[in-house]
Amino acid sequence: MPEDSAARRWLYLFLVLASTVAAVTEMTGIFQVDGFTWREIVILVLFGILFAWIASSFWLAAFGAFARFTKIDLLPLKPPSGISAARTAILMPVYNEDVARVFAGVRAIWESSGPDFDFYILSDSTNPANWVAEELQWHRLKQELGETAHIFYRHRAKNIGRKAGNIQDFCENWGQLYDYMVILDADSLMTGAALRKLVGLMDANPRAALIQAPAQLVGRHSLFARIQQFSSSVYGPVHGAGLAFLQGADGNYYGHNAIIRVHAFMQHCGLPKLPGRPPFGGEIMSHDFVEAAFLRRAGWEVWMAPDLGGSFEEPPPSLLDHLIRDRRWCQGNLQHLRIVFAQGLTLPSRLHLAMGIMSYVASPLWLLLLVFSAIDMMNYVAPAPASYIGLWPSLAHSVSYAAEMVVLVLATLVLLYVPKLLAALALLEDPVATRAHGGTSAVFRGLFWESVFSTLMAPIVMLQHSWYVLSILMGMATGWNSQTRTDRALPWDFVAGKFWPHTLIGVVATVILWRYAGGAFNWFVPLLAGMLVSIPLVVISSSPLMGLWTRRDNLFVVPSETRGLAVMDRAHALAGAHQDLAQDARQLVLEDRQVRDLHLALLSGTPQPDVSARLGVLRAQAARRDTAAFSGEDWTMILSDSEGLRALP
């Protein structure tokens, strides 16, 4: 198997390089007609880098389609056998999340999996209201499920290291009790069957340290989310198959919906604190790629299980939320510039890190290529139609400088859209899966409209990612705030305030190109269109009503909608039936003795605030229930003060 994976990778590398060399050679021939200018050299270099980037994605999809059509085993591990005696913890780190959604998801997974697993809700919430509400929801869940439910809750006073630090804290305190741990996100769902299969695979394959179960996007109803869910369901299997086919045991980790061998993780996955200040220094924000690289460096196997099934997560509800999440990922991935050359990493791990970096650096490179191409076209001077050598006319070779855009656009069309077609054809091979996606007609209609949407979205993402990369290079760091996960229609004025720069850039670029590069203007239309319609595109795609309309029209249909998904339906039903507290949860700690006793019991071991004049004032106000002017910091201080809480009347 290692030899097979190596041969596939070399073939893949050859095809990417051969495609790139052929394209660059053609471009060089065009520029050589009248000699190179410095702008043309820059264009050629950028074109070569970016063509290699999109060629790598194309050939990955081609390998994935080959694996699907030929039914190759993508997870060549020993199958599970017998009942597992291993202890497995399911971890859900949360950070100021929707409390009802978190506990509904935990309960739905517990009901699907039974009492075979221990669940840990690991809270890093800094919002005092979330903190107390989590405690109350955990207590209610324990009472409803009874003693057979091993569901634990822990709140950290300081979220050092963010999610990675949260997992590290679990490992240091409880890791020695477990053989495996399954990491989830707050919006993750997994079926009991998938969890048991993962445990069985780990039992049967003692060299496997991590098995990633790719998560399919489900559960949201806005137009943007439904398009993302359709893409995940139709294109995801071919993409995942390509990765698994090439990676073998050199797989990657995507931060959640994966099972991990605890002792291997504890021994090898301690994250360094990068020297210097953020954004490039400090805590590593995108920890998952690094942890997979460290496991491979130590000789452990990391696998992807693309056909496991039963692994789900929810997409962002709007393009704006998608881009906000990307800002954090961009900073985290650019930090990998300081890790990619770390001593001892395997070549596949370095490639994973490099491709993660390139996924964001590609945007400013595309922008530079477009800018230099436009400038070159605006400076193009047509040659004379004929010249004479003595009495004989010599026709000039009239070469349009729009030719590089012809090559670029045609190459982009092939490399970007053929993989979508291959994915659709792979889906249509399975009649059951085709019906679950609404039928053949629905699949191709979805393919067409998703391609239109992604084409319009691409320049918006390009501009936004370019700004992210530039701001990070300028030293502007970002935090790691909680994500918006609820469907909501974004108002026009709000979106206009966020996306007016994209529109303005589109207007200015349109005027300049129309005035000074009219002959090549048509090649820029798809890019300009996305910028010009950025505001209505974001508004309309955020609409749950538009999502409902496409669902009624049998467009962007996915199996979780046509066949239902028990664990998702149960989680949504539980979240929908949730009744909000009649009172502020923080106030209940002061006024309800039972809530206070529960909170004090869970405070055991939490560092106490330093006794100060300010704390004395807060204690006196809390005793009088005079909390109207309390800030978030005040509430955190008083809720952390076990001595003061015990003294309350």
Q: Position of tokens 């405070």?
A: 603
What's the rounded Cα separation, in Å, for the pair 110 and 104?
Answer: 10
**Which residues, at least 6 apart from 500, have a Cβ–Cβ distance to it below 8 Å?**
535
Choose the most confident range, by mean pLDDT, from 223-237, 410-424, 470-484. Answer: 223-237
Residue 69 CA, distance from chain mean position: 27
Q: Closest Cα partner for 236 from 254, 250, 210? A: 254
323 pLDDT higher than 60: yes
CB 106 within 8 A of CB 576: no
Residue 251 contacts residue 302 (beta carbons within 8 Å) = yes
pLDDT band for 394, please (50, 70, 90 cuts).
very low
pLDDT in tens, 61-75: 999 999 999 999 999
Task: State the pTM of this model.
Answer: 0.92
**Among the listed residues 69, 59, 76, the one whose alpha carbon sits nearest the alpha carbon of residue 303:** 76
Q: What does the pLDDT read at residue 611? A: 79
Give the pLDDT band of residue 107 (cuts 50, 70, 90): very high
Per-residue pLDDT at 392: 52
Please tell me the predicted confidence (pLDDT) of residue 40.
85
Instruction: Please say whether the beta carbons of 302 and 209 come within 8 A.
Output: yes
pLDDT (tens digit per residue) in 74-87 = 999 999 988 899 99
Domains of the chain: 1-78+86-124+159-379+400-580 (3.90.550.10)
Residue 395 has pLDDT above 50, yes or no: no
Q: How many CA atoms lie within 13 A of 362 on its CB side?
A: 20
User: In this model, does residue 391 exceed pLDDT 90?
Assistant: no
pLDDT, averaged across the chain:
91
pLDDT digits (tens, 9 = 90+) for 470-491: 999 999 987 767 777 789 999 9
Confidence of residue 403 (pLDDT cuts 50, 70, 90): low
pLDDT at 290 over 70: yes
Q: How far apart are CA 76 and CA 307, in angstroms?
A: 12
* Neighbouring residues of 390: CB distance < 8 A, sequence distance ≥ 6: none
Q: Quote the CA–CA distance of 113 and 219 in Å, as a whole number.
A: 20
Q: For the ranges 169-173, 249-253, 391-395, 643-647, which has the lowest average pLDDT? A: 391-395
Q: What is the pLDDT of residue 125?
A: 94
Q: What is the pLDDT of residues 537-580, one digit of tens each?
A: 999 999 999 999 999 999 999 999 999 999 999 999 999 888 77
Looking at residue 1, its pLDDT comes to: 54
pLDDT score for 406 = 66
Tokens encoding 20:
């790139």
What number is the average pLDDT over the span 387-400?
A: 47
Q: What percent of the chain has pLDDT over 70?
A: 93
Q: What percentage of the chain's residues is helix, strand, coil (to nearest 5)?
A: 60, 10, 30
Identify whether 279 is preceded by a cis peptide bond (ω within 30 of 0): yes
- CA 449 centroid distance within chain: 22
pLDDT of 148 strictly over 90: no
Residue 534's identity, in one-letter code, is S
Stretch 488-512: mean pLDDT, rounded?
Answer: 96
Q: What average pLDDT does the segment 105-117 reach?
A: 94
Q: In this model, does residue 440 exceed pLDDT 60?
A: yes
Mean pLDDT of 247-268: 97
